[in-house]
Amino acid sequence: MKTILVTGGAGFIGSAVVRQFINDTEHRVVNLDKLTYAGNLQSLASVSDNPRYRFEQVDICDATELARVFREHQPDAVMHLAAESHVDRSISGPAAFIQTNIVGTYTLLEAARTHWNTLNAERKAAFRFHHISTDEVYGSLGETGFFTEDMPYEPNSPYSASKASSDHLVRAWHHTYGFPVVTTNCSNNYGPYHFPEKLIPLVILNAVNGKPLPIYGKGDNIRDWLYVDDHARALRLVLEKGKLGETYNIGGWNEKTNLQVVQSICSILDELHPQGAPHNKLITYVTDRPGHDQRYAINANKIARDLGWKPLENFESGLRKTVEWYLSNDAWVKGVTSGEYQNWVQSNYTNRSAA
Ligand code: NAD
Ligand code: TYD
């Protein structure tokens, strides 16, 4: 039994990782999360009473508190998911992205390295720092080709630039200090507990509530969608078997235009929630996102070949499961869509006029 320190464990992907560790393994988990607008402990209600689960409300920029957490919990590994994660927010307010994603990752790396240096030889050799990142660091693809691990970084948004910076810091800590790191770069995730500022949950909830479904630009931008539990399984595998200093791309081989995604959600809702059908009448084309990346697509051959991972969920069944989850988890939805989030929605969308 090991102790895994998961940062950002109250977020969308982090909570899936924590739930898997508690439900499917014997490991202990320390969830370290600041609880920003995106962090929600309700996502962990099913595991929070487990004696192998602990929660620490800590900011990854707070070196003193990080030192205390490492001292008290003596983790065997860190999985670093805490981040500001929404591209639109990074455009309207990049400061938090620089602070958490760059300064926070640096502060966490130093706290983890200090802890690592106190371990005995056996624990030191087994220690891992797993940095969780995004495919957006590679920039935007044309009509053909895929992101591979050896591609140059070309981040285009404040979000992806801040994640690229954090990837470089992690790489440098390995090469300079011999710190034992692995990094993963994943495509767009979807599934339950996804904060409804991102495309899929936003469209599901707007459609159910008869609100416009905003499509940026022409809706022909392409994303490569992966079900969140498939990502969480890949992350656990990389933590266990990934080669030190290596990076692994994770993706679903599942490219869709945004318009295809929104149309699919509408069709599922026409069946499961016929009030308001056809839901696609709510589709509204709005002003494009500045610097909007055209296409993301992951080549996931390395993780398949070296570690034997492949996604289990296909997009049709995964999307249906996701819609069903939002339809039957009203309390969770209400919990995350009040207060600060509403203020942000108003200020961000007031000026997005119809294109
Ligand atoms: P999320 O926004 O749902 O959750 C982020 C979590 O980090 C929240 O619980 C938040 O409270 C916490 N957090 C933010 N700032 C913090 C700070 N300063 N200190 C401590 N905790 C803090 O994000 P997500 O979608 O779950 O993404 C998790 C990670 O995976 C991120 O690093 C993101 O870049 C990466 N990623 C996300 C996707 C995706 O499609 N969502 C794809 C690839 C990679
Ligand atoms: P998003 O879920 O924000 O993820 P990312 O920007 O990290 O890929 O957006 C996914 C795609 O959907 C992206 O091309 C932007 C687009 N989009 C819309 O068309 N309308 C929306 O309301 C949102 C939130 C996103």
CA dist., res. 318 & res. 207, Å (int): 18
pLDDT at 337: 85
Single-letter code of the amino acid located at 301: N
Q: Structural domain boundaries of the chain?
A: 3-347
Contact 223, 296 (CB under 8 A): yes
Q: Could you give the C-alpha distances from 295 to 136, 232, 258, in angstroms and in order?
A: 10, 23, 10
pLDDT in tens, 340-354: 555 555 555 444 444
pLDDT beneath 70: ranges in the chain: 339-355
- Judge if the beta carbon of residue 265 lies within 6 A of ligand 2: no
pLDDT at 125: 98
Q: Please list the residues that pair with 59 across neighbouring strands.
A: none
Q: Which two tokens stand for residue 285?
A: 């084309």
From the CA of 215, how far away is ligand 2's center (Å)? 8
Report CA Rg, the chain.
Answer: 20
Find the catalytic residue in 33, 136, 230, 255: 136
φ/ψ of residue 152, rounded to 5: -70, 150
Residue 159 annotated as catalytic: yes
- Judge if the beta carbon of residue 216 lies within 6 A of ligand 2: yes
Per the CATH hierarchy, to which homologous superfamily does domain 3-347 belong? NAD(P)-binding Rossmann-like Domain (3.40.50.720)
Q: Please list the residues that pair with 354 across neighbouring strands.
A: 286
pLDDT at 340: 54
Residue nearest to atom 23 of ligand 2 (CA): 199
Q: Which two tokens stand for residue 342?
A: 């509403």
From the CA of 199, how far away is ligand 2's center (Å)? 5
231, 190, 236: which is closest to 29 by C-alpha?
236
Index of the ligand 2 atom closest to the CA of residue 88: 3
pLDDT at 353: 43
From the CA of 156, how far away is ligand 1's center (Å)? 19
Helix or strand holding residue 185 (H, E): strand 181-186
pLDDT at 114: 98
Contact 206, 282 (CB under 8 A): yes
Question: Which ligand sits nearest to residue 107's alpha carbon?
Answer: 1
Q: Which two tokens stand for residue 185?
A: 């770069």
From the CA of 198, how far away is ligand 2's center (Å)? 6
CA dist., res. 233 & res. 242, Å (int): 13
Contact 137, 296 (CB under 8 A): no
Residue 135 annotated as catalytic: yes
pLDDT at 352: 45
